[in-house]
Structure formats: structure tokens, C-alpha cells
């Protein structure tokens, strides 16, 4: 009886070993297929989104630092928020793009703070207004940015249109004076 059990176990071991070997071969082939697809997408010059998806993390960082307008847009919408900080260091970044990023609720809160503190962007009224309306910007920062927008925008904010209530209250106090 024991020899029968030993024969079955030995047979199972060989079967398991064959399954593991087949799995390893399939994984290697799958990895090679993925690499080949990435190379083909890069070479074909397909759309920017598929090129971006095929990139490694290091390539995505380089794309954020040096990419063109379309690539910067893809990086800004990416779920990997760590790329947003690199994006802000791109020399080709325009005020219009920064204002659009400041409106994005999905943009990294740390990058939003960096925008508000930057000399080039933090003083601009459209960027400040975008940051004030963004729910991810901390309340103290949003209320400080009220100093950088015009009276008409301040009046709209004071009405509570598209802003959090504490920001609207701060805008009313600034508009009508402290009471």
C-alpha cells in the first residue's frame, strides 16, 4: 500500500514540476511579448496616451520634465501623483496649463501648494482663482489667495459660487470689511 502511495506522490511531484516549468516558460514568453509591444508602440509613434502607458516610471519622469504640451497634459491627468511635482519643473509649461492644473481636483495637493508658492504662477489672478475653487487646496492657502484676485471675482466667491463655505465667508469679510 505504501508503495502505491509513494508512486502517486512521486507522480504528483513530477506533474507539479511540469506545471511549474510550463508556468515559468509562459511568464517569460509573456514578459517578452510585453516588451515587444512596448517597443512597437514607441517605434510606431502611436498616440501620446498609449506611448505614455508603455513607458517605465523613469521614462514617465523624463516625459514630465521634458515632454511637449500634449505629453504634459497626459502626465497631469495620470493617477501617479508623484509625477506632478516633476511636471511643474518642465521649462515649457505655460500659464494656461498651470491654471488648468490648478483646477484639477485630481492633481497632487503638494503640487497645488507648489503652484501657489511659485513666483511665476502664484501671483496670477486666474491661477489664484483656480486654486481657490479647488477643494484639494488647504483652506488657509485658499483664503490667502483671495488677496490676489480682482474685486469682481471676489464678489462671485463671496456669493459661494463653486467654493467651500469658509472660503466664501473669508471673501465676504474681505469684500465688506471685518465685522
* CA gap 87, 166 in Å, rounded: 30
Q: What is the pLDDT of residue 29?
A: 52
33: pLDDT confidence band, cut at 50, 70 and 90?
Answer: low
Report CA-CA distances (Å) from 162 to 13, 46, 82, 121, 132. 66, 38, 27, 21, 9
Mean pLDDT (whole number) for 89-114: 95
Q: What is the mean pLDDT of the chain?
A: 82
Q: Is 13 domain-assigned?
A: no
Q: Is 11 domain-assigned?
A: no
Least confident of 8-22, 39-53, 138-152, 158-172: 8-22
Residue 109 — left, alpha, or beta (φ > 0 → left; ψ -120 to 50 → alpha)? Answer: alpha
What is the dihedral sign for C-alpha 40, 45, 50, 51?
Answer: positive
Checking if the pLDDT of 139 tops 50, the result is: yes
Q: 119: domain range?
A: 94-179
Checking if the pLDDT of 8 tops 60, the result is: no
Q: Is 39 domain-assigned?
A: no
Q: What is the pLDDT of residue 161?
A: 80
Q: Is 152 domain-assigned?
A: yes
Instruction: For the chain, give the percent of residues with pLDDT over 70.
Output: 73
Q: Is 106 domain-assigned?
A: yes
- The number of distinct structural domains making up the chain is 1
Q: Is 166 domain-assigned?
A: yes
Q: Is 125 domain-assigned?
A: yes
Checking if the pLDDT of 59 tops 50, the result is: yes
Q: Is 22 domain-assigned?
A: no
Amino acid at each position: 500500500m505504501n508503495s502505491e502511495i509513494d508512486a502517486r506522490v512521486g507522480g504528483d511531484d513530477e506533474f507539479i514540476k511540469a506545471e511549474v516549468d510550463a508556468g515559468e516558460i509562459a511568464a517569460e514568453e509573456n514578459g517578452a511579448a510585453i516588451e515587444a509591444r512596448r517597443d512597437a508602440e514607441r517605434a510606431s509613434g502611436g498616440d501620446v496616451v498609449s506611448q505614455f502607458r508603455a513607458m517605465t516610471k523613469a521614462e514617465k519622469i523624463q516625459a514630465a520634465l521634458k515632454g511637449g504640451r500634449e505629453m504634459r497634459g497626459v502626465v497631469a491627468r495620470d493617477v501617479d501623483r508623484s509625477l506632478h511635482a516633476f511636471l511643474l519643473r518642465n521649462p515649457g509649461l505655460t500659464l494656461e496649463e498651470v491654471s488648468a492644473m490648478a483646477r484639477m481636483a485630481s492633481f497632487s495637493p503638494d503640487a497645488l501648494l507648489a503652484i501657489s508658492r511659485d513666483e511665476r504662477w502664484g501671483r496670477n489672478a486666474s491661477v489664484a482663482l483656480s486654486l481657490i475653487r479647488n477643494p484639494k487646496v488647504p483652506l488657509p492657502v485658499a483664503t490667502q489667495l483671495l488677496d490676489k484676485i480682482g474685486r469682481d471675482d471676489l464678489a462671485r466667491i463671496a456669493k459661494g459660487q463653486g467654493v467651500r463655505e469658509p472660503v466664501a465667508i473669508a471673501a465676504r469679510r474681505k469684500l465688506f470689511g471685518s465685522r
